[in-house]
Amino acid sequence: MSSTELENLKIAFHTLGCKVNIYESEVMRQLAENAGAVTVPFEDEADIYVVNTCTVTNMADKKSRSYLRRPRKRNPEALVVACGCYAQVEGEKLLSEGIADILVGADEKQDLVRILSDYLEKGIRRPVRDLSKPGSFSNMSLAALSAHTRADIKVQDGCNQFCSYCIIPYARGRIRSRRIPDVVSEITALSEKGVQEFVLTGIHLSSYGRDFDAPAQDEFLRLVEAVHEIPGVKRIRFGSLEPRIVTEEFAARLSALPKICPHFHLSLQSGSEATLKRMNRHYTPEEYRKSCKILRRHFDEPAITTDVIVGFPGETEAEFEESRRFVSEIGFYELHVFKYSRRKGTVADKMPDQIPEEVKNKRSEDLIALGKEMSEAFRSRHDGRRAEVLTEQEGFLSGKKMLFGYTKEYIRAAVPAETGENRIVSGILSKSPDPEVMLLL
């Protein structure tokens, strides 16, 4: 599409779901603006509304449908675009019900401008691509960021794991990895514009490079080491990792790279071996424990965070208690607790012994409280330690204007406002009146 074909058309975006979706929406916004469109807030009247949907739970489906319905109230003549995972899985239903006008599949977001052009000029409305077969990575690249501190960079897509509760392999397709030179090129350009911290992210990041017919761990480490060599990069973080990727070699090679943040999100889901088997997770609690020990051997007091699902079908009180004990023994920095949500099309949806909502609620509240205790304990262990904070945005602490940012361990900390944004400041961490924020003195 030439720069005149979307000239002065108002386009609005709304994003649901994960960091990969957020990254992809930002790329789509830039592509639309390059084609002449004017971006406006989703709450405003627009000519085109793009909803980048999520389908990870039934609640995500409901939110996706809700946001797709809203544009008609603002502009009945607007073009409504269902984009992403829910569009991939339920797109034809959205079209038949008149909720959306056109679809952009989970692997087609880089083609948004072409898809819009085909519909607006020729009335062509194509079905989403079939993602059930192996394919290549659909390259996208951020040209710039409105915030110049941290950038999420998509390096991988798709998942081959088929956990029994998860629809994502059907929504995102098979694993696809981005070539290292493409990643390096994007990060180099953003670092030259002032971005200092980069988060390598994907749908199943631990599978990075497996589609290159090479050991995934080796390819992932090659990618990390290549990014580490970029002069403007000051910090590197990762999205969610599987515990099996953590070996002695993996941790040793990462710990030799000073730009690596000692902050690892290792997906757990349950500390009960029986529950993990029903989930079709490919590790045991003891294997998970070993991965944590390896990380703690190679990094000084690293932040280990995780996700846990409560109320999975068949989870007995004994299994929940086993999971709770395991979580407590590991001692996470942050614990993200999710109540199991039935998702049509998954194996778990048809499992017997579905857990009542009131039981899920009780177990969720229990683990959330435990998670807060562990977070406070982790921050207490860092009290008095030297740390570096990358400043991000202004705010107030006890009525005083401050700048807030994060340490390498992702501890939120405050520094004097006059320090300036997007600067790495060194100092000693100290407790503050807010238990979730530390001071850097």
pTM of the model as a whole: 0.93
Q: CA–CA separation, 358 vs 231, rounded Å?
A: 53
Smallest Cα–Cα separation from 391: which of 238, 234, 256?
Answer: 234
Q: Is the pLDDT of residue 1 over 80?
A: no
Return the SS3 of 1.
Answer: coil
- Give the model's pLDDT for residue 62: 94
Give the pLDDT band of residue 126 (cuts 50, 70, 90): confident
Sheet (strand 48-53) strand order:
38-39, 10-15, 48-53, 79-84, 102-104
User: Residue range 366-395: average pLDDT?
Assistant: 97
Burial class (CB in 10 A: 0-12, 13-18, 19+), 238: buried
Say which residues have a Cβ less than 8 Å from residue 356's Cβ, sequence separation at least 6.
Answer: none
Q: CA–CA separation, 47 vs 8, rounded Å?
A: 10
CA atoms within 13 A on the CB side of 191: 21
- Give the model's pLDDT for residue 2: 41
Least confidently predicted of 1-10, 21-30, 324-333, 406-415: 1-10
User: Residue range 168-178: average pLDDT?
Assistant: 95
Beta bridge partner(s), residue 307? 336
- Give the model's pLDDT for residue 148: 73
What's the one-letter identity of residue 440? Answer: L
Please say whether the beta carbons of 128 and 87 come within 8 A.
Answer: yes
Give the pLDDT band of residue 215 (cuts 50, 70, 90): low
Q: CA–CA separation, 285 vs 70, rounded Å?
A: 44
Q: CA–CA separation, 93 vs 87, rounded Å?
A: 9
Smallest Cα–Cα separation from 190: which of 223, 226, 147, 229?
Answer: 147
Q: Is the pLDDT of residue 289 over 60?
A: yes
Alpha-helical (H) ranges within 193-332 are 216-228, 248-255, 273-279, 285-298, 317-330
Least confidently predicted of 141-145, 180-184, 355-359: 141-145
The predicted-structure confidence for 46-101, as pLDDT tens digits, reads as follows: 999 999 999 998 889 999 999 999 999 999 999 999 999 999 999 999 999 999 99
The predicted-structure confidence for 322-360, as pLDDT tens digits, reads as follows: 999 999 999 999 999 999 998 889 999 999 999 999 999
Beta bridge partner(s), residue 430? 439
Give the pLDDT band of residue 320 (cuts 50, 70, 90): very high
The predicted-structure confidence for 379-389, as pLDDT tens digits, reads as follows: 999 999 999 99
- Give the model's pLDDT for residue 3: 41
Least confidently predicted of 4-13, 264-273, 339-348: 4-13
User: Residue range 211-234: average pLDDT?
Assistant: 91
- Give the model's pLDDT for residue 6: 81
